[in-house]
Structure formats: C-alpha cells, structure tokens
C-alpha cells in the first residue's frame, strides 16, 4: 500500500473509532441495553402510528376499498422484499462484531458493500420483476376488481421506488449495530413527519396538486424515504457519523463480504416468509368460523393494531439486544453477551406487563377508539385482548432471545423456531380441532398464546445451549471470533 493510501486509511480509522461507544462493551450492561433500546422502541412506535394515519386518511377520502388496497399491497410487498431486507440482518451481525472488536475499517467496508448489494438488487430485481408481477400477485391473493384498481398503482410504485425506504432501514440498522441508536431515531421521526405531511397533500390534493387518493399514500412513503436516504448518504460520505464512506471506496463488489451478508441474512429472510405465510393461513381459519366477519374484525383491531404496541417495543428490544450481544462477542466477552440478553428480556417483560394490564383494565375504552360498537365483535375482541395480555409476556421474551441469537450470528435457530412455533404448532392445533370437532374463536386465541409460549421457550433453550459462542466471521481477511 502507498504512503498516501495508508495515511488515508489511518485517518479514516481515527475518525470512526472515536465514534464507537465503548460503554457498550465496557460499561454497565443495563445502561448499554437501555441506551440502544429506548430510541429504537420510540422510532418503531412513531413509525407504526404513521401507518395508522395512512389508513385513517385513505379510509376517509377513498373509503374502505382504499384501506383494503393498502392492506393487500403491504401484505404482498413485505413477503417479496423480505429477502432483500434480510441481508441487513447479515450486515448487522458483521457490523456489531467488528464494532466490538474496534475495527472501523471493516465496519465501513461491510456497510458499503451492503449498500451496493441492496442498490443492485432493487434496481435489477425488485423494481422490474415487481412491476411485471404485480397484477398476478394481486390475483393470487384474490383481491376484488375494485380493490385491484386501487392496489395496482400503489403496489407498482412501492416496488419501483422503494429503494429510499430500504436504504433508510439499512442505514438505521448499521448505525444501531455500531452503537448509535439516536441518529436512526431522529431520521425515523423526520421521515414519519415528512411522510404524513406529503400524504395530507397527495392523498387529498392541495392547490394545483391533484388528489392521488390511494396512490398518494405510496407516493408520500417513497418520497419521504428517498429524501431521508439522500440526507443519510450525504452524512456518511461527509464522515459525520460512527459509520463513514469515503471517496476511495469503489463500485467493485467484495464477494467475501457479500457471501457473509447472505450467510447470516438468508435464514432471517426464510423466517420472515414463514411468519407471513403463517399469518395468512391463520386468517383462513378465522374466516372459517361461524361468525367469521366479526372474528376477523376483532382479530384486526385487537391483534394487528392494539397488540402492535407490544410488538413495536419488543422489536426495539430485539434490535438493541442484537447490537449489544454482537458487540460484546466481538470484544471477546461472551459472558457480557449472555447477561445482556437476560437484562433485555427483563426490560421487555416489564413493558409488556404494563401494556397487557391496560388490555385487562381498559378493553372497552381501547376498542372504542376503533368504533367497535357491534356487541358480538366487541365481545370477541375483549376476549382476545385477555389472551394477548398473557401472550405479550411470551413474545417479548422470545424476541429478546431472538435478538441475542441473531446478533451473535446464529440466525438459523430463530428460523427453525419460528417455523415450529408460529406455523406447525398453532396451525396444527387449529387444523386438528376443525377436523375432529368445531373450531371456536377462543381456541384460535389459545393457539396464538401457545405458539408464542413455544417460541419463547425454544428461544431460551437455543440461546442457553451456547452454539453462538463458536460462530466465526470471515470477510476474506482476518477471521473475527
């Protein structure tokens, strides 16, 4: 290497290593976990509320057909992009490991290669294939003609222009894994506020800007994601954050890094597909009930909306756990890794217990927000909330230990656990009851709880088995323990 090149690398190392928060691998574990958890939880909650605002605005302007179009489109979009976003999990494993080992050059190389890979996959796979296959995908989910008319332009817009949103998720994950959770939080809040402002204009129209209806919601999402991602790229190349790009980085792929991205990421992609498929099949069992319409309404409000307050916070706990666990393993401190997961699970249980208590004490008030006036729907929704108050304790523990497994590189165990606990057990239970008896709503609610309990139990067993202690990372140079 020339003297100039070595000086450039040394300067880069000096700049980025100053940004690493060494308290995550040296300070109190509780403080390290909480430092990363609370910004991530707040970001998830605010981002989730933005989805509720979308549905409310489209429902009021377009009607229920618009809501159905957005719901169907997102169901398809999430399943299709899960393999692309899964490489971000692989990136998080490498970034956390190299951050813990205090190797900023490897951190930067990893994030840059993940950026190039995501850009190429969106441009040459997601956008063209998504545009062509959108009509067939809508037929596959049996969307009605009027819903397809609203959903097709929405879905195509998301497929073709979603690179900004995906890059935001990638940059957020990279910064969080490197120990900075507050910058992604600020970016997420800014993107949500911009998205809401754009939706107010684009869905209903303003002045010379016409009303785009359901399409306007997609336009607002992709524009907001694009603006925030351009801002993030500018800061990365300016070296203002803990992760940095520099002009010496080339467009040439580094196959050693890319191989590791997919090695750790693909199991998470398969897990995501399995979870989505399991959710769709569970909905089919709900649709087979005698009071199917009422049960589906109760499920949508209680599980997909109210229970989200537990899952949003639990996913935040999972992300923080992954970063802390991975960094400490990279620093050669596996005992701190194990302790961080236990601490994170304790945080999650406390938060889930508080939200679950609200489900038990204030069910009618919570359901009233969604206009649940039908007595049958209300009764089913209150019943489901009681089950979910317990289930929330299990899912938050499961996600904390999932974060510990994924953050240390054991992404296969959560995949197998999810298939067993979220598909085989609950769906098998529903199938057996419906085959040999009559399936009732409370039996489906119980199947959800048993699935979450199984996921928590299996995740704890897998983590305590300790296979993660022996996982190595190799990007073509020195192998990191």
Longest Cα pair distance anywhere in the chain, in angstroms?
Answer: 78
| 244 and 270 part of one domain | no
Asked if residue 115 lies in contact with residue 230, where contact means CB atoms within 8 angstroms, the answer is no
Of 331, 318, 314, the C-alpha closest to 173 is: 318
Question: Residue 480 has what pLDDT?
Answer: 45
Secondary structure (3-state) at 473: strand
Structural domain contains residue 412: yes
Neighbours of 275 (CB within 10 A): 18
Three-state DSSP class for residue 440: coil
Triad 465, 84, 227: Cα angle to 5°: 120
Q: Residues 88, 93, 97, CA angle at the centre, nearest 5°?
A: 140
Report the run of H or E that residue 245 belongs to, with start and end.
none
β-partners of residue 462 are none
- Number of DSSP helices (H) and strands (E) in the chain, helices first: 19, 2
Last residue of a domain, one of 221, 253, 285: 253
Q: Give me the tens of pLDDT residue by residue for the chain, a chain 481 residues long.
A: 444 444 444 444 444 434 688 899 998 999 999 999 999 899 888 877 777 677 677 767 777 677 777 877 887 887 777 777 788 999 999 999 999 999 999 999 999 999 999 999 888 988 999 999 999 988 876 677 888 898 899 999 999 998 898 999 999 999 999 999 999 999 999 999 999 999 889 988 888 999 898 899 899 999 999 999 999 999 999 999 999 998 888 888 999 999 999 999 999 988 888 887 788 788 788 888 888 878 887 887 888 778 989 998 999 999 999 999 999 999 999 999 999 999 999 999 999 999 999 999 999 998 887 676 788 888 999 999 999 999 999 999 999 999 999 999 999 999 999 999 999 999 999 999 999 999 999 999 999 999 999 999 999 999 999 999 999 987 765 444 4
Sign of CA dihedral 69, 71, 72, 74: positive
Of 253, 285, 307, the last residue of a domain is 253
Q: Half-sphere exposure of residue 70, counting CA atoms within 13 Å on the CB side?
A: 23
Do 50 and 109 share a domain, yes or no?
yes
The whole-model pTM stands at 0.85
Same domain for 244 and 213, yes or no, is: yes
446 shares its domain with 313: yes
Distance (Å, whole) CA 134 – CA 341:
41
* Segments forming the whole domain that contains residue 163: 8-253
Do the domain assignments include residue 30? Answer: yes
Count of structural domains within the chain: 2
Query: Tokens in use for 452?
Result: 């979450």
Do the Cβ atoms of 429 and 449 come closer than 8 Å?
Answer: no
Sequential DSSP letters for 19-86: HS-THHHHS-HHHHHHHHHHHHHHHHHHHHHHHHHHHHHHHHHT-HHHHHHHHHHHHHHHHHHHHHHH
Task: Find out whether 211 and 61 touch, Cβ atoms under 8 Å.
Answer: yes
Beta-strand pair 473-474/479-480: antiparallel
Q: Tell me, what's the pLDDT at 70?
A: 80
Whether 283 is in a domain gets the answer yes
Q: 233 and 309: one domain?
A: no
The contacts of residue 306 (CB under 8 Å, 6+ apart) are 359, 366, 367, 385, 388
**Comparing C-alpha atoms, which of 410, 334, 401 is closest to residue 89?**
410
Model pLDDT, residue 18? 46
8 Å CB contact between 76 and 273:
no
Q: In sequence order, which ranges of 101-144 are alpha helices (DSSP H)? A: 104-121, 127-140
Residues 170 and 89 in one domain: yes
Helix (H, G, I), strand (E, B) or coil at 209: strand
Residue 477's pLDDT is what? 52
422 and 450 fall within a common domain: yes
With tokens 């494993």, the residue in question is 93
Burial class (CB in 10 A: 0-12, 13-18, 19+), 249: middle
Residue 435 lies in a domain: yes
Would you state the pLDDT for residue 245? 93
pLDDT of residue 1: 44
Structure tokens given for 138: 């809508």
Q: Which two tokens stand for residue 300?
A: 């949508």
In a domain, residue 117? The reply is: yes
Domain end (from 253, 281, 307): 253
Q: How many residues does the chain have?
A: 481
Q: Give residue 55's pLDDT.
A: 64
Considering the domain boundaries, does residue 392 fall inside one?
yes
Contact 159, 84 (CB under 8 A): no
Contact 183, 175 (CB under 8 A): yes
Any idea which residue has 């195509």 for tokens? 156
Residue 330 sits in the same domain as residue 425: yes
Return the SS3 of 249: coil
Structure tokens at 34: 């909480």
Same-domain pairing of 324 and 453: yes
Distance CA(113)–CA(221), nearest Å, equals: 25
Distance CA 191, CA 224 (A): 6
Q: Does 304 lie in the same domain as 162?
A: no
Among candidates 292, 303, 318, 321, which has minimal Cα distance to 383? 303
Task: Report the run of H or E that residue 141 belongs to, with start and end.
Answer: none
Among 72, 75, 224, 50, which Cα is nearest to 150's? 72
- In a shared domain, residues 188 and 281: no
- Residue 138 inside a domain? The answer is yes
pLDDT at 11: 45
Q: What is the DSSP letter of 433?
A: H
Residue bearing tokens 């900004």: 164
Where do we find the tokens 């928060």?
21
Distance CA 340, CA 33 (A): 7
Q: Is residue 92 part of a domain?
A: yes
357 and 330 part of one domain: yes
């Amino acid at each position: 290497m020339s003297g100039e090149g070595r000086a450039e690398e040394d300067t880069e190392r000096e700049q980025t290593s100053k940004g690493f928060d060494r308290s995550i691998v040296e300070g109190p574990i509780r403080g390290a976990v909480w430092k990363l958890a609370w910004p991530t939880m707040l970001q998830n909650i605010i981002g989730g509320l933005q989805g509720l605002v979308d549905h409310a605005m489209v429902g009021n302007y377009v009607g229920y057909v618009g809501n159905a179009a957005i719901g169907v489109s997102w169901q398809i979009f999430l399943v299709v992009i899960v393999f692309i976003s899964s490489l971000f999990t692989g990136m998080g494993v490498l970034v956390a490991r190299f951050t813990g080992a205090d190797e900023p050059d490897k951190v930067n190389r990893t994030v840059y290669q993940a950026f190039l890979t995501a850009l190429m996959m969106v441009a040459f796979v997601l956008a063209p294939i998504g545009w062509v296959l959108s009509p067939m995908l809508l037929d596959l989910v049996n969307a009605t003609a009027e819903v397809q008319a609203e959903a097709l332009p929405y879905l195509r817009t998301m497929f073709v222009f979603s690179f900004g949103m995906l890059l935001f998720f990638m940059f957020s994950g990279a910064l969080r894994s490197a120990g900075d959770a507050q910058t992604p939080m600020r970016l997420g809040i800014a993107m949500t506020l911009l998205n809401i402002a754009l939706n107010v204009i684009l869905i209903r129209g303003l002045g010379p800007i016409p009303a785009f209806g359901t399409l306007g919601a997609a336009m607002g999402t992709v524009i907001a994601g694009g603006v925030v991602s351009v801002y993030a790229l500018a800061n990365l190349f300016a070296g203002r954050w803990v992760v940095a790009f520099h002009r010496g980085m080339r467009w040439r792929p580094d196959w050693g890094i890319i191989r590791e991205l997919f090695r750790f990421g693909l199991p998470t992609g398969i897990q995501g597909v399995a979870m989505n498929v399991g959710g769709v099949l569970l909905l089919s069992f709900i649709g087979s009930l005698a009071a199917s319409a009422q049960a589906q309404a109760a499920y949508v409000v209680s599980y997909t909306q109210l229970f989200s307050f537990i899952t949003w916070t639990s996913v935040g706990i999972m992300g923080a756990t992954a970063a802390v666990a991975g960094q400490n393993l990279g620093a050669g401190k596996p005992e701190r890794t194990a302790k961080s997961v236990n601490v994170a699970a304790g945080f999650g249980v406390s938060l889930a217990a508080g939200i679950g208590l609200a489900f038990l004490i204030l069910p009618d008030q919570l359901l009233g927000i969604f206009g649940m006036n039908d007595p049958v729907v209300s009764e089913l929704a209150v019943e489901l909330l009681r089950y979910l108050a317990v289930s929330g304790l299990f899912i938050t523990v499961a996600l904390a230990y999932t974060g510990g497994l994924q953050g240390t590189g054991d992404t296969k165990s959560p995949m197998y656990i999810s298939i067993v606990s979220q598909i085989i057990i609950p769906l098998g239970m529903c199938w057996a009851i419906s085959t040999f008896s009559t399936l009732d709503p409370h039996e489906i609610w119980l199947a959800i709880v048993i699935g979450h309990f199984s996921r928590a139990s299996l995740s704890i067993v897998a983590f305590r088995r300790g296979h993660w202690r022996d996982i190595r990372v190799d990007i073509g140079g020195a192998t990191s323990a």
